[in-house]
């Protein structure tokens, strides 16, 4: 059991992590830092948070594990600021949605003895903030843990993987660059498509929104996410997202061409291929091979 778990950023992911850690007996004590006084006040009243601090330096004092749960462009600067205040052999990790830049920046910014392993739990919601937190947010989902030179040092990678498994997640060890290519296609591209669709529909009469059913809700759900969080993600992983967008545009153009040319055979082929790829997800397929 972790004696003291420190969460830097008590929003949806950070507060959910504390709830899960307490519910599963992963940590004896959970403490947090938030820039928001209102969030700190909620933490102080919550049974899953033992203390909330005004500075990140205070929050990491005596912690065995520190998890940065802030937007991707703030993770390394935040952690660099607390390094001098860490307990010896403390584990540092994060929840950032892009890993190559974070891991490279961490390796450059942190002294060799700092035990850092980048993580990315593939769990979240279109809702945000501490009010949306829940103890089962991570359960059954996949978590990527960076497999690079720093994370392998002093077993930081293995300890980070053990943390996420204890929270109910499946874990895949992955090279940071491979991680960014994967999530650009399976997470960031779907968000971009949802944003584009929602933006297009926003130009239509307002009552159209109430005319949609499950398809509209499912396809646009993630576009309701925090714009600032997603701005940072798109910018951090732009080198992988742009090729993913280009590939998507090619497939979209093929669909448009089939319709414009009244090519029933081509249209059916596109629809059938998409259906065949998507169907296993409805049956829970893909989960076993994702975790290695």
CATH number of the domain within which 131 lies: 3.40.50.720
Mean pLDDT for the stretch of residues 70-88: 97
When mean pLDDT is compared across 97-106, 129-138, 283-292, the lowest value belongs to 283-292
Which 3-state string (H, E, C) describes 102-124? HHHHHHHHCCCCCEECCEEECCC
- My answer on whether 192 and 146 are in the same domain is no
For residues 136 and 148, is the Cβ–Cβ distance under 8 A? no
Shared domain check, 100 and 36: yes
d(CA 202, CA 210): 12
Tell me: do 186 and 58 sit in the same domain.
no
Among 174, 199, 232, identify where a domain stops. Answer: 174
58 touches 31 (CB < 8 A): no
SS3 assignment, position 30:
strand
**Of the residues 174, 196, 212, which one is the last residue of a structural domain?**
174
User: What is d(CA 235, CA 96) in angstroms, rounded to the nearest whole number?
Assistant: 13
Same domain, residue pair 88 and 213: no
Q: Quick one: which of 64, 79, 166 has its CA closest to 118?
A: 79
Q: Looking at the structure, do residues 212 and 83 belong to the same domain, yes or no?
A: no
Bridge partners of 29? Answer: 4
State the CATH number of the domain containing residue 198.
1.10.3660.10
Mean pLDDT of the chain: 96
Alpha helices in the chain (DSSP H): 12-23, 37-45, 56-60, 75-82, 100-109, 149-152, 156-166, 176-183, 189-201, 214-220, 227-236, 238-260, 264-282, 287-290
The whole-angstrom separation of Cα 13 and Cα 60 is 18
143 with 259, same domain?
no
Tally of domains in the chain: 2
The C-alpha atoms of residue 67 and residue 84 are separated, in whole angstroms, by 16
Domain co-membership, 34 together with 62: yes
46 and 165 share one domain: yes
Closest CA to 12 of 114, 132, 107: 132
Mean pLDDT of 61-71: 98
Percent of the chain with pLDDT over 90: 92
| pLDDT tens digits along 158-195 | 999 999 999 999 999 999 999 999 999 999 999 999 99
Domain that holds residue 200: 179-290
Look at residue 263 and give its three-state secondary structure.
coil
pLDDT score recorded for residue 153: 86
Q: Say yes or no: 202 and 285 in one domain.
A: yes
What are the distances in angstroms from CA 56 to CA 19, 113, 127, 178, 280?
20, 20, 24, 31, 43
Last residue of a domain, one of 174, 196, 224: 174
State residue 230's pLDDT score.
96
**What span, in angstroms and rounded, lies between the C-alpha atoms of 210 and 62?**
52
Q: What is the pLDDT of residue 144?
A: 98
Indicate the helix (H) or strand (E) that contains 130.
none
Let me know whether 21 and 162 are in one domain.
Answer: yes
Q: Say yes or no to pLDDT of 157 above 90.
A: yes
In whole angstroms, what is the distance from residue 169 CA to residue 164 CA? 6
- Percent helix, strand and coil across the chain, each rounded to 5? 60, 15, 30
Residue 84 neighbours by CB under 8 Å, 6+ apart:
none
Going by the DSSP 8-state scheme, the letter that residue 225 receives in this structure is S
pLDDT, residue 154, reads 83
Considering the domain architecture, whether residues 37 and 127 belong to the same structural domain is answered as yes
Query: Are 152 and 186 part of one and the same domain?
Result: no
Does the CA dihedral 15-20-26-27 come out positive or negative? positive
């Amino acid at each position: 059991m972790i004696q003291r778990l420190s969460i830097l950023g008590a929003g949806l992911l950070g507060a959910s992590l504390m709830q899960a850690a307490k519910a599963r007996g992963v940590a004896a004590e959970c403490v947090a830092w938030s820039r928001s006084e209102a969030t700190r006040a909620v933490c102080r009243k919550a049974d899953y948070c033992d203390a909330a601090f005004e500075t990140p330096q205070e929050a990491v004092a005596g912690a065995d594990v520190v998890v940065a749960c802030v937007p991707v462009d703030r993770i390394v600067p935040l952690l660099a600021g607390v390094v001098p205040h860490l307990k010896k052999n403390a584990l540092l990790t994060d929840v950032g949605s892009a890993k190559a830049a974070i891991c490279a920046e961490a390796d450059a910014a942190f002294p060799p003895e700092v035990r850092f392993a980048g993580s990315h739990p593939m769990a979240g919601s279109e809702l945000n903030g501490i009010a949306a937190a829940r103890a089962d947010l991570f359960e059954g989902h996949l978590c990527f843990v960076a497999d690079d030179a720093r994370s392998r040092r002093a077993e930081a990678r293995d300890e980070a993987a053990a943390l996420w498994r204890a929270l109910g997640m499946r874990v895949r060890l992955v090279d940071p660059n491979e991680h960014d290519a994967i999530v650009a296609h399976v997470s960031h591209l779907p968000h971009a498509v949802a944003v584009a669709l929602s933006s297009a529909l926003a130009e239509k009469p307002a009552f159209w929104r109430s005319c949609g059913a499950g398809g509209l809700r499912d396809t646009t759900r993630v576009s309701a996410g925090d714009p600032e969080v997603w701005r940072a993600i798109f910018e951090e992983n732009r080198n992988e997202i742009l090729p993913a967008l280009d590939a998507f545009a090619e497939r979209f153009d093929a669909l448009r061409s089939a319709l414009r040319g009244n090519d029933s055979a081509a249209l059916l082929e596109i629809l059938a291929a998409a259906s065949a790829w998507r169907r296993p997800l409805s049956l829970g397929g893909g989960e076993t091979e994702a975790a290695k």
